[in-house]
Structure 1
Amino acid sequence: MIFQLLNGQITPIYFVFFIISLLISLTIHELAHAYTSYKLGDSTAKIDGRISLNPLNHIDPYGFLAILIVGFGWAKPVMMNPYNFKNYRDGIFFTALAGPVSNIIQAILGTLLLNFNFPFIVLEFIQVFVLINIILASFNILPIPPLDGYKVFSRILSNKLYFQAEYYERKYGFIILMVFLISGILRTIWFPVYNFLLNFINLFIF
């Protein structure tokens, strides 16, 4: 994104809109994880100060900078102790699902606002905001470790396979994700999901 700005591919105002939208979207995404985990019985995220709308509580400076430079990065992960959940697997499932769902909700709300006659600059910001949330939702829902989607879709596995999958995610998750990213497989899997969500969100433009 920074290089696109320097090369004149995007305008400075678009860059500002991108940063603001990303801060809002990531903050609500991580807050959704934290709040869901708390409501399901685990207070770890609350103790860590993650049930907050303050972006500083959720944004990893290096991860955020990486997004701006290479288009791929991360926020601070929400820590949880699944043994505090009433149901171990359901707790992880709903906590993981909350993040992408929050982005879909943000995208829908933003798209609904596009139906109003706001000034052009406001509509441009909303469009950027909606696009970022679609990207975040479609990326994080992929069933690839250590993304949210991996924890969501692991729920269908038997207990034995589930805990094996959880072990390998913790030990090799980031490496697996990097292999998918560098090889180009990640983009191949992600693009159809992105298109599906984009078409779904567009249904809310009247």
Structure 2
Amino acid sequence: MDVNQLIDGLIFYIGLLVLLTFHEYGHAWMALRCGDDTAKLQGRCSLNPLVHMDPIGTVVLPLLMIFLPGAGQFLVGWARPVPVNPYNLRHPNRDQILVAMAGPAMNVVLAVGLLGLARICELVGFAGLIELLARMAWLSLLLCFFNLIPIPPLDGSYLMRQLTGMSHETYHRIAQYGFLIVILVLQVPVVRRLLTDVTHFSWVMIATVFGLGG
């Protein structure tokens, strides 16, 4: 790996940290709006990346995917789940879904903002930033759809739990092994392909709105 690849990988990793931080902040912000201040009291309603970092999901796995040959084509990661006390929520069934979906929604908002900024850079001639912003937007969308996988404790699992009527106890038992299951599921080529295709399609749709090439 040459110096340019190393620098590019580090920039991409910093971008991932920013995206994950905003994702978790989205959860904490929505929980607070719905009546639960657990995350705020634990210092998680913050844009400080350090309070959200998970040793495996935020450090080890992303760095391996970035710096191992060929692995950087598919980059995912996660932060520490934001603590939510459902008994503090004003409307527990509805609000748990709102809190869970706030993270992926934040990633969509970030992708739109990044591609909008890329378009501005194109108009004013800052060509050097366009590719980086476009890649970060793509990664933000990938994180959105990755987190919608219905495996505890990913965000999509909360919607699945509500639809199936799964008890909190059963959910948390599965969640203890959830990220191991997620890592195994990501080894299935059809899953990776589906995530990539949905991400690319969404990226193209947003980029087209801003007049950027797909």
Runs (4+) off by over 4 Å: none
Q: Could you say if the C-alpha distance between residues 124 and 189 of structure 1 is closer, same or farther in structure 2, counting changes exceeding 3 Å?
A: closer
Q: Could you say if the C-alpha distance between residues 67 and 50 of structure 1 is closer, same or farther in structure 2, counting changes exceeding 3 Å?
A: same
CA contact (8 A) 1:134 1:197 kept: yes
- Pick aligned residue for 1:50 from 41, 44, 51: 44
Q: Which amino acid aligns with 1:47?
A: L
- Pick aligned residue for 2:129 from 102, 122, 140: 122
Q: Could you say if the C-alpha distance between residues 176 and 169 of structure 1 is closer, same or farther in structure 2, counting changes exceeding 3 Å?
A: farther
- Give 1:196 deviation, angstroms: 3.2
Which stretch shows the higher mean deviation, 134-143 or 65-74?
Answer: 65-74
Q: Which runs of 5+ in 1 are unaligned?
A: 1-5
- Give 1:26 deviation, angstroms: 0.7
Provide the C-alpha distance between the structure 2 equivalents of 1:178 and 1:33, rounded to a whole number of angstroms: 22
CA contact (8 A) 2:161 2:171 kept: no
Provide the C-alpha distance between the structure 2 equivalents of 1:199 and 1:128, rounded to a whole number of angstroms: 12
How many residues end up aligned between the 2 structures? 195
Aligned to 2:71: none
Q: Could you say if the C-alpha distance between residues 131 and 76 of structure 1 is closer, same or farther in structure 2, counting changes exceeding 3 Å?
A: same
> What is the TM-score with the length of structure 1 in the denominator?
0.83
Sequence identity percentage: 32
CA contact (8 A) 2:13 2:62 kept: no
- Pick aligned residue for 1:78 from 56, 64, 82: 82
Aligned to 2:63: 68
Q: Could you say if the C-alpha distance between residues 48 and 31 of structure 1 is closer, same or farther in structure 2, counting changes exceeding 3 Å?
A: same
Determine helix, strand or coil for the equivalent of 2:166.
helix
Provide the C-alpha distance between the structure 1 equivalents of 2:182 and 2:104, rounded to a whole number of angstroms: 18
Determine helix, strand or coil for the equivalent of 2:83.
coil
Q: Which amino acid aligns with 1:103?
A: N
Provide the C-alpha distance between the structure 2 equivalents of 1:76 and 1:113, rounded to a whole number of angstroms: 29
- Pick aligned residue for 1:90 from 82, 94, 98: 94
Aligned to 1:171: 173
Q: Could you say if the C-alpha distance between residues 191 and 15 of structure 1 is closer, same or farther in structure 2, counting changes exceeding 3 Å?
A: closer
Provide the C-alpha distance between the structure 2 equivalents of 1:111 and 1:170, rounded to a whole number of angstroms: 37
